[in-house]
Structure 1
């Protein structure tokens, strides 16, 4: 459980901002794909079953729009960001593997596809990584024992 020291508080704020940025990135991707990229104009095809027999090797515009918007990484990122915020609100430090996986995914995205808004995810990942490290360090049993001895 976290305590209200300045060191622990900065970790909490970093985790909170990381969660917010992850939600923002996922929502911005999904909304911009649906609106700016006009993916939503294919909704009739999506919900009529038109994509059921589509060929992945030669995607139709409706299939491509679906994979860019509703079945892309945006919605899962919103879920991950909300889980980070939910854990933080309950004073539970998110597991470090979330930051590591998002970090690797962000680096791969930055290398493979330029330009992308990967710096947003890089900032979120760094905040989450540092925040979880600080919170874990602050919550370590050794520190709690030292504090009790004083």
Structure 2
């Protein structure tokens, strides 16, 4: 369960980041980003380049990749991810679902449920979720 949760979180972050850069064409603003064009950006009245930056590189995509890879790394070592990861992602997902109902938040609900159930089973010592730790 934990492995599936980690993969869902990781792949969602990758899909968001790549989709924003390609499908949403955010990457076309890279010249502005890397030439200092956003240094004096008014966040209350963003330019198209500023909006594209916050949709892609400064979005939640890259942190989600890191969270998902951390969950997978812990799982491969037989370490149960702390429940606060699932609860924090869960709170964030609820806000996302309320603010933007047509996002892939149901996929996150699945990942969070898998993560929390897997973490709970591991804490309780359920033999189905316990594995020997691998050495690195």
* TM-score, scaled relative to structure 1: 0.82
1:87 and 2:74 aligned: yes
Q: Which runs of 5+ in 2 are unaligned?
A: 127-136
Matched residue, 2:41: 54
Q: Distance in 2 between matches of 1:101 and 1:114?
A: 19
Matched residue, 2:132: none
TM-score computed with the length of structure 2 as normaliser: 0.91
**What does residue 15 of structure 2 align with?**
28
Q: State the Cα distance separating 1:126 from its structure 2 match.
A: 0.4
Match of 1:6 in 2: none
Measured on the aligned residues, the alpha-carbon RMSD in Å equals: 0.8
How many corresponding residue pairs?
126
Unaligned segments of structure 1, at least 5 residues = 1-13, 140-150
Runs of 4+ displaced beyond 4 Å:
none
Higher RCO structure, 1 or 2 (CA under 8 Å, sep 6+):
1
Equivalent-residue separation in structure 2 for 1:70 and 1:56 (angstroms): 16
Larger Rg: 1
Listed one character per residue, the Cα deviations across residues 90-125 of structure 1 (whole Å, up to 9, x for unaligned) are 110000000000011111100111210111111100
**Aligned match of 1:71:** 58
Classify the secondary structure of the residue corresponding to 2:59.
coil
